[in-house]
Structure 1
Amino acid sequence: MRKKGKIIITAGCIFCFLCICYIGVSLYFYRVFYPNTFINGMDVSGQDPSEVRKLMEESLKDYEITVVSVDGEEVIQGSAFDFEYEYTSVEELKKEEQGWQWPLKMFRKTDYQVSPDAKWNQAKLDEKVNQLLCMTQEMTAPKDASLTINEDGFHLTEEVVGNTVKKDKVEEAVTKAVTSGETKLILDEEGCYEKPQVTVNSPEIQDQLKKVDELCNAEVVYDFHGNEEKIGKDQIRKWVRKDDNGELYVSWEAAYDYLDSLADKYDTVNSYRTFQSSRGYEITLEPGSYGWGTDVSEETDLLIDDIKNHRVTSRQPAYYMTPYDYLDPNSPDDIGFTYIEIDLSGQYLWYYKDGSLFLSTPITSGTMSTGHGTPAGVYYIHNRLQNTILVGDDYRQPVDFWMQVVGGVGIHDSKWRYNYGGTEYLNNGSHGCINTPYDAVKSLFWNVEVGTPVIMYY
């Protein structure tokens, strides 16, 4: 019996010791976090909640929020509106852990996520918000998109977004962001701007565009002697008009005006040119009848037909005049390497064939003193005739070789003339033609083609 009593006493002592240890450890863990405990990713094992709270609040001491407007970014410092964080929930977490559960939680990882409680001076925050540039600058109001079609054509005006802010909305959005601890606020995403009610994507605009585009599905790519010009939907839209009944159509006149502008850009007929003369210097040539000449009226008819039939095609425009048929494709211009050059001031003619001088000769041109001066410009050989009669108001003159250049002016032989070149043309020249020595004009006649450029200048 005595031995049994000792065992009971010993067991009781051990139990009391264990109870005391359990209670002691429990009391310890009522004050600190269990091992393997993390808050917002930070290891807080064995740490007092007040110390943890202090560390967490210290990490967020320099809070600031960046406000992003359509005009840029601005930063509001937390210190400017007495902002500070409080992690009061850290103490609540510790209370919920209950220290007596330490045997169960000693070896188990626990990861908490807590949000801070923020406090600030709202009046100071509102003041800072209202000092932002986006709130104080001159603002551009939004403007609706519009589509009009009238006698002046098709006009699509895109919407203007502007930068007019809703000031109450900005204040509200900033306060909400600060409350959530956000460090960046994009005003446009928060609906802080006045917006146009009608945009180019609005149904009322798209419905009208669909009707217009049903007329504009053609595409014509022009080859203006090596220069590409594309006419597609965007260009054809500009030619759409409404008739008196409100029906849409593509204006012939508008298409003509556009093609006429392309002709002005690329045509060389009746245009000035630069030219390297046989005298060795560059000159500017007067306009003439030779070169590229677009038949704008005919081409407009063709283009309107393409548009009506929604064709997609490539071609050269219709021309009423094209350069020399035998123009070398390697030529840098439409005069090429085969041409007749006549210096009317120097009274001299050169004929170049395939880049080489074929013949040169003095000539006598139209009489300047009587108003019959030979016209300067870039022309071409219209025709070649043998044994013909030149007829004027006061003359009938047979010639053996005739090459018409422009109107009644041509290159021909003149057996009655003995002197060429010099100043003969000033008072004793022709009625405008190029009088040429017989052997020279004969050689020229048999070696020149109809269409050959003729360059005449003073």
Structure 2
Amino acid sequence: MKRLSKNLVSMLMLLILLILILAGVYAFGIYHFKTHFFTGSKINGVSIGEMTADEARYAIENQIRRYSITCVERNNLTEKLTGDQFYMQYKDDGMIETLLQKQNPYLWVFYLGHGKDYQIDVGYTYEKEAVDTVLDAMKAFSPEYATSPASARVTLDGTQFVVADCDQGALPNREKVRRALIKAIENGDRTIDFDKEDLYEHPAKAGDNSKLQQEAENLNKVLQSNITYDMVDRSFTINGDNIQSFIEQTDNGGFKLSRDKIAGFVKDMAFQTDTYGLKHKFTTHSGRQIVLQAGGDYGWCINQEETTTDLYNAILNGETGNREPIYLFKALNRSSDDIGNTYVEICIEKQEMWCYKDGVCVVDTPVVTGNHSKGEDTPSGCVWAVDAKESPATFEDNGGVKVKFWLPFVDSCGIHDASWRSAGEYGGTTWKMRGSNGCINTPLDAAEQIYEIISIGYPVIVYYSEDQVVGTQPTHEVVPG
């Protein structure tokens, strides 16, 4: 019995000791959880168990510092923006202390292992001015990624114009993005999907625009044009290859046939082919080549303004075939040698004139040119065109002198018969002291033959000699005769 009593006493003492220990632990827990959150507690998902109010506040502050917004953008671009970039800071409103004060420390044993889960509005501040700084640094706004949207438009695809569908591009609307960031920060959102939030600029027009389709058809019609200016030993062709260079883009993104560029083509063609009033190479009756100087009035001269308009309209209408420029002045032959094979040739030194028809010399006659002693020399060194034909003719400016055949070609000088001259006066040196008033005095039969062959616009070549193309020029205005 005594032994049993001792065991009971021992067990009783152990039980009392255990109770005292548990009571101490419980009392410690009461004391501890007056200043600490229950084990396993959370505020808005942030673990604060066993933390004081200050420690919990610090944990919330860290959570705010780690706050980030993920921007999902086009071109597989993702950008992560952090709270630090917006200078986010915790705003202590005393709520954490209030939660701790409301916590009943006597019930701490009932929250072992799971604690309490609080959902509160955590106050914080940020700097709105920092939003613009963040926008400036975002890749979405950099030239590498920010591609502008393109409206439906006409574009050249190889050799054809087609209507290209609109391109959405990837150009964010800065103000929309700014508002979306502010909204996300203030709501605590973690993701912004730029497409879902409609934060990109949109193209202006869709791809089913009938006007664009018509524009493409008109441009393709232009490309079908095939026009050739055939100038015997050279030609100038306009087709799809170079018409593309005549088409330019307009300010609104469309295309048009450029009249200015066509004018440039015509100008270049005129530069290469115009001969009016320019130097001419010429092979004389003896077979020697001389260079006639600029200053005559014979040759080709393209009317650039009218030819440009004509060509512009022809291309616009998709025309094909050979075409002729519109001229201010025409010569006989459209090849590089525009003098051709029918012309009059006069050599002052030899006092001789030849008339060629289709390459054959049909007239070879002595003549009398302008009186050198009086300064009434016949102009020389150039190619002139016959200005008129008259038979008979009266020279009113020279006392009513009458001739049967009159072919003027420069100023008041021309080819005519001279009934007042004897056969012996033609040729030789008559011209030096008793020459004409500047005209080419010609025997009647020769004048008649030349008159029958030469028409208005035909060339008359006058040179002093084969060694000296330009001779003494008249010193004053002369009259026919």
TM-score, scaled relative to structure 2 = 0.44
Q: Which structure has greater strand proportion?
A: 1
TM-score, scaled relative to structure 1 = 0.46
